[in-house]
Structure 1
Amino acid sequence: MRLSRLLTPLLALALPLAACSDDDATTAPTTFTSIEATTFAPSLGVDVSASGWTKTPTGLWYRTLASAPATAATVANGQRISVRYTGWLSNGTQFESSTYTFNLGRGEVIAGWDQGIVGMRVGERRQLVIPPSLGYGSRANGPIPGNSVLVFNVEVLPST
């Protein structure tokens, strides 16, 4: 009886620890409450309570960083477009910076891009703050942990 009293608390601690490993640390989903409750690294300049931000019905937030001329073409669903972008986690960790060409609105990119880029003008730069439901969800994707809020600076490039 006395041995079982000693082992029970030890087992209660050992079982959760046994489920942890270095491999799980990069893939274990974090929790997500809301963009409004997310703490962003100061270097990202994200403050969705400030003026200039727009929230869509799906939970995507965006703001214009640099406007394009009113005469610049507006991108629409179905168009093949190229963008220059940089992506960060909310803690300020940059995970990618590149250019990418895709068909807008056809599910070739995360939903946050399809929704946040449509309507931009060529040459416009926007900052997108994407909830996990419009990004990679609860599953990790390379350097991006599950349930990550993603921050992208995106510029629509002229057609070549």
Structure 2
Amino acid sequence: MNEPTKPEVDLPEGDAPAELTVRDLVVGDGPEAKPGRVVQVHYVGVTFASGREFDASWDQGRPFKFAVGGGRVIKGLDRGIRGMRVGGRREVVVPPRLGYGKQSPSPAIPAGSTLVFVVDLLSVV
């Protein structure tokens, strides 16, 4: 399989969803991301309102690794990758209550933001 390249994030149409939404852009056929497993992902995050990128593992030059269900990432992203398979690319739209809510970690993310991630699942351990 070719190494994936950094995706462009196409914002979903209409209003920001009130619930977590996931949409597989590419369905993987490798091991599944489940609670307790360590995953390695590449991701791009943008705010739903502006479409501006606030974070991307691609720009750090290395994938991001975390344990599913371990509390290292926002709830919406943690839940949004569950059931995903290695080799897959998924769009995860995270409402504020499963993201940063009113506590913004950075000026690039206004309080109360809905977030859109495109995630590539590279490995599951």
TM-score under structure 1 length normalisation? 0.63
Identity %, equivalent residues: 38
Aligned pair partner of 2:80 in 101, 104, 116: 116
Q: How does 1:46-61 map to 2 (within 5 A)?
A: 46-47=12-13, 59-61=19-21
Aligned pair partner of 1:137 in 88, 101, 104: 101
Uncovered stretches (5+) of structure 2, i.e. residues with no partner: 1-8, 58-62
Report the aligned-residue RMSD: 2.1
1:44 Cα offset (Å): 2.0
Partner residue of 2:46? 88
In structure 1, the residue corresponding to 2:113 is in which secondary structure? coil
TM-score under structure 2 length normalisation? 0.79
Aligned length, in residue pairs: 109
Point out which structure has higher relative CO (alpha carbons under 8 A, 6+ apart).
2
Aligned pair partner of 1:150 in 115, 118, 123: 115
- Write the distance in 2 (CA, Å) between the matches of 1:73 and 1:61: 22
In structure 1, the residue corresponding to 2:44 is in which secondary structure? strand
1:159 Cα offset (Å): 5.1
- Write the distance in 2 (CA, Å) between the matches of 1:111 and 1:95: 17
In structure 1, the residue corresponding to 2:93 is in which secondary structure? strand
Letter of the 1:92 counterpart = G
Report the structure, 1 or 2, having the larger strand content.
2
Letter of the 2:110 counterpart = P
Whichever of the two has the greater Rg, that structure is: 1
Uncovered stretches (5+) of structure 1, i.e. residues with no partner: 1-42, 50-54
